[in-house]
Amino acid sequence: MTKGKLPRLPFDSIKEKILGKNYELSIVFIGDKLSRKLNRSYRDKDKPTDILSFPLSDKGGEIFINLKKASKNAPKFDRKFENFIAFLFIHGLVHLKGFEHSSRMEDEETKFRKKFGV
- 58-85 residue pLDDT tens: 999 999 999 999 999 999 999 999 999 9
Q: Which CATH number fits domain 11-116: 1.25.40.10, 3.40.50.10490, 3.10.400.10, 3.40.390.30?
A: 3.40.390.30
Predicted TM-score (pTM) of this structure: 0.91
Contact between 28 and 63 (Cβ < 8 Å)? yes
Q: How far is CA 96 from the centre of its chain?
A: 10
Rounding to the nearest 10 degrees, give the CA dihedral for residues 37, 70, 25, 33. Answer: 20
Distance between CA atoms of 16 and 25, rounded to whole angstroms? 10
Q: E-assigned strands of 51-102?
A: 51-57, 60-66
Can you list the residues of the chain whose pLDDT is less than 50?
Answer: 1
Distance between CA atoms of 107 and 97, rounded to whole angstroms? 13
